[in-house]
Amino acid sequence: MGHVSFLTWGAFALVCVGLVLTPGPNMLHLVSRALCQGRAAALVALAGVATGFFVYLLLAAFGITALLLAVPFAYVALKACGAAYLAWLAWGAFRSKGEGLATKRLAAADVGRLYSMGLVTNLLNPKIAMLYLALLPQFIDAGAGHVFGQTMQLGLTQIAIGVGGDAAFIMVAGALASFLARRPAWARAQRWLMGGVLGGLALRLALDEARP
């Protein structure tokens, strides 16, 4: 298995910490989920997001993601699907009654749905694929060999830091949700917050003109 030097690994870890502290679609989605449905719901969604990271890591390690992003139409199609999915989730949030969400006990069906939402939202975000293709190669020493092993080591580091950071934000947002849940006005505002965040993410993804 490839070996990444300690200095290289440390520099990469610092970059990952910086990315965690920069608000992005995943963080906004998870924090809004925690505020509206509590910590448990957000942590289930985070498990889906983490799975999506791992899928993209494997695709990047095997070079499949590079092939996908090399075809402009594939990138646009992935982005369009992601925006449409987020817009659909936003519409569902606006239509929900939005009462008592933060204190609602999660059922088995809710767990599966929240996990799927986190997973699909991450997989349909082409920016995640670009993250691995643009960031990982900068810290891989091709001359040292075992590029696949180095890629997995760095990728798993990014996942650990990213998931840990998001979990910390979820804990804070969940505590705030417990406080707000006792206020009737907040119960009515929850669906607008969730719908607004998801709708904003859909619009942001749809209008993003970046290309790989």
Map out the domains of the chain as residue ranges.
Answer: 27-207
Rounded Cα distance between 195 and 32, Å, is 9
pLDDT tens profile 17-27: 998 888 788 88
pLDDT tens profile 94-141: 776 544 444 455 666 688 989 999 999 898 888 788 888 888 888 988
- Predicted TM-score of the model (pTM): 0.81
Q: Which residue stretches of the chain are H helix?
A: 6-20, 25-37, 39-61, 64-70, 72-95, 108-123, 126-135, 147-180, 184-207
Tell me if 38 sits within 8 A of 177, measured CB to CB.
Answer: yes
Identify the sign of the CA torsion 115, 120, 121, 122. positive
